[in-house]
A and B are shown apart, each in its own frame.
Chain A
Amino acid sequence: MAPLELLLELTLMPLVAFLVGMMMVLMMRRIAARIQRRVGPPLFQPLYDIVKLHSKQTQVSHGLIHDIGIVMAMGGYIAAETLLPVPGMNGIAEKGGIITLLYLMMIPSLGLALGVGQCANPNGSIGIARALTAMLAYDIPLVIVIFGVAYAAGTTNLVDIIAQQQAGGFATWGAVQMPLLAVAGLIAMHASLGKQPFEIYIAPAEIATGPMVEMSGKHLGGLFVMQCFQLYTISVLYVSLFLGGGSTWFDFLLKSFLVLAIPASIAYLFPRYRTEDLLRLMWKWPVMLGLIGVAFVL
């Protein structure tokens, strides 16, 4: 591939991800509003929030690591976008593979931990401890699920996995071939979104939004941007693994929004788990489903 073309793709993919991610944030907030019988935010609300936060006059920084942490949190996801194939653009997905992608998806949590550490706010530290515990909880089923899919496809190359699923139409989709893995993946995905009932590390009523407690201005704005990328990354990864990716932009976007709508509509119906309950739940059901699914694949 021509280097110029590659460069174009590497810039376009995160940009597209950001735009789609903002629409996903809007969708989640609208779904929450509908479930609570409200009207919900206007169309450009995520954009207003981000612009406003970046244009605050006071920008409190607690030091260099605080700034770098936010950049890492965003950068991890931006790098992950270039490994996620979208219709017409593969970026460096063929060279990266899912394993690199998994590593990149952990960077934001670590970056956040660094940044929050320098704020020295006890609520933030508790939040980060919980966020890393939650990561431990959902990463194990996620890794099992990804192992199963990669084993069944015989490759860790996301482009090949999508191509294999698209080859035979609906019947070769990962969700049809490996339903148990798909269900386990859905639960792990929901937990990694950090929404209720798994939002132990945000918990506004308890630890005052945990990692975000000392963030203001563009630092909080950066986290809002990160959230857009996070929603996009997780739902697109699920679509690529189980729903055959997208052959056109239309069905690609349709699938990723639909996938995200499932956790979004479950989320606002339930209260929050405690940390140890979350661990127990995640290590029991999705892991069990995932292992049985892997056994079928082997």
Chain B
Amino acid sequence: MSSINQIPVIEAKKGNPLARVFDELVRFCRSRSLFILHYCTGCGAIELPPAMTSRFDMERLGIQPMVSPRQADILLITGYVSIKTLKRVILTYEQMGSPKYVIGICSCTVNGGMYWQSYATAKKLDEYMPVDLYIAGCMPRPEAVIAGLQQLMDSIHAGKANSWEDYYRNYDYYLGNQQKLFGDNWQTPTDVIAEAKHYNLLSKGTLGVHTRLLEQHQQPLEALEMRLGHNLKEPTE
């Protein structure tokens, strides 16, 4: 028993038995139908096409690629994340609908990998958003990717893949790390604190020094004005 997760905990079963059956069905379907959004940041992305196409065929596990964050369940980060990319990754992550899962593929997402000394990459992905699963390797083979996805499926089925709640519970910590990289006036279009309240996940770590800093700098979002030819300049000749 090397980790605390392996110690069996007997949970008291209570509640409506019908609701339990329903929850089980939902968890099963969630684990069997995963739409992935592959944000191909680094070289590890090259191992995804074989995992999806005829050689290894992810679709037989119910895993499909999707193209927009709204539709997706899994955010696949495939390789090093530069600081500029990380902003986009965070925007994408916040737009996805929960329950959402993040998988970091490649060693570079674990600890910076061979870009450890680079000034331009974010080293540890889980300082900026909760990561459900890392698949290490430089780069991991498709078998490893699929094994990792199966592990994720198992933990979704067991109801343990809840790291998305962590983002709401410890928003202050994640925001702090983001502010350290992007500067004090970093802000995303998503109101994470309001969402945390909505999901009843507001806890000690949600609000803190960094969220107060955010409030100071936060500017209300305005809808973009719809205008044709808004910034089309006439050629000056």
Residues of chain A whose beta carbon lies under 8 Å from any beta carbon of chain B: 29, 33, 36-42, 44-45, 47-49, 51-53, 55-60, 120, 204-205, 208-209, 212-217, 220
- Tell me whether A38 and B99 are in contact (CB under 8 A): no
- Tell me whether B70 and A214 are in contact (CB under 8 A): yes
- Tell me whether B32 and A48 are in contact (CB under 8 A): yes
Docked CA distance A58–B57 (Å): 29
- Cβ of A298 to closest chain B Cβ, rounded Å: 47
Q: Of A38, A48, A51, which one neighbours B53 at CB under 8 angstroms? A: A38
- Evaluate whether A208 and B54 lie within 8 angstroms (CB atoms) in the complex, with A39-B60, A45-B62, A51-B29 already known: no
Contacts of A58 in B (CB 8 A): 96-98
- Tell me whether A215 and B70 are in contact (CB under 8 A): yes
- Evaluate whether A213 and B98 lie within 8 angstroms (CB atoms) in the complex, with A37-B54, A48-B29 already known: no
* Residue of A whose beta carbon sits closest to that of B70: A216
Determine if B185 is an interface residue (Cβ-Cβ < 8 Å).
no
Contacts of A57 in B (CB 8 A): 97-99, 199
Contact size range, B: 20 to 34
Determine if B26 is an interface residue (Cβ-Cβ < 8 Å).
yes
- Tell me whether A212 and B62 are in contact (CB under 8 A): no
Determine if B166 is an interface residue (Cβ-Cβ < 8 Å).
no
Determine if B47 is an interface residue (Cβ-Cβ < 8 Å).
no
Q: Say whether chain A's binding surface is mostly helix, strand, loop, or mixed.
A: loop
Contacts of B96 in A (CB 8 A): 58
7 A-B pairs within 8 Å (CB atoms) are namely A45-B62, A48-B62, A57-B99, A58-B97, A209-B68, A214-B70, A220-B71
- Cβ of B15 to closest chain A Cβ, rounded Å: 17
Q: Of A38, A48, A205, A220, which one neighbours B54 at CB under 8 angstroms? A: A38
Determine if B25 is an interface residue (Cβ-Cβ < 8 Å).
yes
- Evaluate whether A42 and B97 lie within 8 angstroms (CB atoms) in the complex, with A37-B54, A214-B68, A215-B71 already known: no
Q: Of B33, B70, B97, B99, which one neighbours A48 at CB under 8 angstroms? A: B33
Docked CA distance A208–B96 (Å): 15
Q: Say whether chain B's binding surface is mostly helix, strand, loop, or mixed.
A: loop
Contacts of A36 in B (CB 8 A): 53-54
- Tell me whether B60 and A40 are in contact (CB under 8 A): yes
Determine if B124 is an interface residue (Cβ-Cβ < 8 Å).
no
- Tell me whether B25 and A41 are in contact (CB under 8 A): no
Docked CA distance A215–B72 (Å): 10
- Cβ of B167 to closest chain A Cβ, rounded Å: 12
- Cβ of B162 to closest chain A Cβ, rounded Å: 11
Contacts of A39 in B (CB 8 A): 57, 59-60
Docked CA distance A57–B26 (Å): 11
- Evaluate whether A29 and B67 lie within 8 angstroms (CB atoms) in the complex, with A51-B29, A52-B33, A60-B97 already known: no
- Tell me whether A217 and B97 are in contact (CB under 8 A): yes
19 new A-B contacts at CB < 8 Å, known A52-B29, A57-B199: A33-B59, A36-B54, A38-B57, A39-B59, A41-B60, A48-B62, A51-B25, A52-B30, A52-B33, A55-B30, A58-B97, A59-B97, A60-B97, A120-B226, A209-B68, A213-B70, A214-B68, A216-B97, A217-B97
- Tell me whether A212 and B60 are in contact (CB under 8 A): no
Q: Which of B32, B62, B70, B199 has the most CB of A within 10 A?
A: B70
* Residue of B whose beta carbon sits closest to that of A44: B32
Contacts of A51 in B (CB 8 A): 25-26, 29, 33
